[in-house]
A and B are shown apart, each in its own frame.
Chain A
Amino acid sequence: MEFDVIIVGAGPAGMSAGIYASRRALKTLIISETIGGQIMSTTWIENYPGFKQIKAVDLVKKFEDHVKSFGVEIIQELVIGIKEVDGGFIVKTNSNEYKAKAVILAFGKSPRTLDVPGEKEYSGRGISYCATCDAPLFKGMPVAVVGGGNSAFETAHLLSQIASKVYIIHRSENFRAFETLVEDVKNRGVEFIMNAEIKEIKGDKFVKSIIIENNKTGEKRELQVNGLFVEIGSEVKSELIKDLVKLDESKHVVVNEKAETFYPNSDKVRPGLFAAGDLTNVPFKQIVVSAGEGCKAALQAYNYIHGIETKGHVADWSAAKK
């Protein structure tokens, strides 16, 4: 199947790109294994303009309905390869191949893993990367949260209402989380274990304990917990694109102000391949920023396909495709 543009990812950047591409009458396909992106790991959204407070799942549904109302097709498949061919790109999924003149990379970031023994084995059997999904299954059990940012503390806050005991394990002496959140969690009886790193996760059918090591003294101890919530940030799964586009030192896709990408280790723009959202080096990972960047990528893809040079103002005054 051939398209003008294929958008890889269905979070705020991908959805917004879909809306703008279709309003420019580009034959548009969105491919993503799941829909919504990282916002689906939260419950409430309180900073997207027009919605004082909205459930993440409802905002995503609105995005999806909006995109589909312009005739954009969303296919839920896993993209396993992107290859440049004559006149465009082939996007290969686990079950099909699709061709397009341009591709917009918008598959965001994924939760970072610990990479310690036992992690893979006990994932879903005591180890969780989604507190809003799994927390209440740990009612009355001792649990630990690893991480020092806001998400770690929000998770600990949620768990303190459910679990019998909550630990926060953090590798340094200082937290990145907001002080008010740290205080609140402390007042709820959550125990902080500082300068500590997880070395192993042990159990039988489910997690029973974790081995932690003090990174100052080298002292090891075993902590009896049935749950471990990993909240150590997120990363771009760059395997798919590392040979296609330039990445920065933290593996984000380098883009210019027009959402264009570059050849690997080069300052030469890679024609036809655009990127938007959390996977780029654009700062401030926010829904509204991703939506804005997705818009830019789609409008630039339109200009690329039609050989138009982007100069100054580009307005989306086109009528909706009927």
Chain B
Amino acid sequence: MEVVLYSADWCPWCQRTKMFLKENKIKFKEVNVDKDPNAAGELIEKTGQMGIPVTLVDGKPIIGYDIPRLKQALKLE
């Protein structure tokens, strides 16, 4: 399962999402939209959303800090 988290250091919900993934021992790649100049454009392109956090689980976007959807996508239930 490939998990990618689009986040930024200053975004509280991104930090919460990161905590959730770590607590559940999910390996993920983090893309910092503030530090990576191409990341914001890539995120908007892939998700059609102008907001973070976004977690891609095998390419499927989960918008925001949405624990029920994350659990479902990550098969944690």
Q: Which residues of A contact B (CB under 8 A)?
A: 34-36, 40-43, 55-57, 60-61, 76-77, 94-95, 124-126, 128, 130, 132-134, 136-139, 205-206, 227
The reply to whether B12 and A77 form a contact with Cβ atoms under 8 Å apart is no
What CA separation (Å) do A205 and B46 show in the bound complex?
13
The reply to whether A124 and B13 form a contact with Cβ atoms under 8 Å apart is no
What CA separation (Å) do A239 and B10 show in the bound complex?
33
The reply to whether A57 and B67 form a contact with Cβ atoms under 8 Å apart is no
Q: Which residues from chain B contact A227 at a C-beta distance below 8 Å?
A: 50
What CA separation (Å) do A131 and B40 show in the bound complex?
15
Q: Which residues from chain A contact B53 at a C-beta distance below 8 Å?
A: 133
Chain A, Cβ-Cβ closest to B70? A76
The reply to whether B50 and A77 form a contact with Cβ atoms under 8 Å apart is no
The reply to whether A206 and B50 form a contact with Cβ atoms under 8 Å apart is yes
Tell me whether A128 and B50 are in contact in the complex, defined as CB-CB below 8 angstroms, given that A77-B68, A139-B40 are known contacts: yes
The reply to whether A134 and B16 form a contact with Cβ atoms under 8 Å apart is no
The reply to whether B33 and A40 form a contact with Cβ atoms under 8 Å apart is no
User: What's the minimum C-beta distance from A111 to chain B, rounded to whole angstroms?
Assistant: 13
> What are 7 A-B contacts with C-beta separation under 8 Å?
A40-B12, A55-B15, A133-B52, A134-B51, A134-B52, A136-B33, A205-B48
The reply to whether B34 and A136 form a contact with Cβ atoms under 8 Å apart is yes
Q: Which residues from chain A contact B8 at a C-beta distance below 8 Å?
A: 136
Tell me whether A132 and B10 are in contact in the complex, defined as CB-CB below 8 angstroms, given that A76-B67, A137-B51, A205-B48 are known contacts: yes
- Write out, one digit per residue, whether chain B residues 36-77 have a CB within 8 A of any chain A CB (1) or not (0): 000010011000111111000000000101011000000000
Tell me whether A43 and B19 are in contact in the complex, defined as CB-CB below 8 angstroms, given that A137-B40, A227-B50 are known contacts: no
Q: Which residues from chain A contact B1 at a C-beta distance below 8 Å?
A: none
User: What's the minimum C-beta distance from B52 to chain A, rounded to whole angstroms?
Assistant: 6
User: What's the minimum C-beta distance from A6 to chain B, rounded to whole angstroms?
Assistant: 18
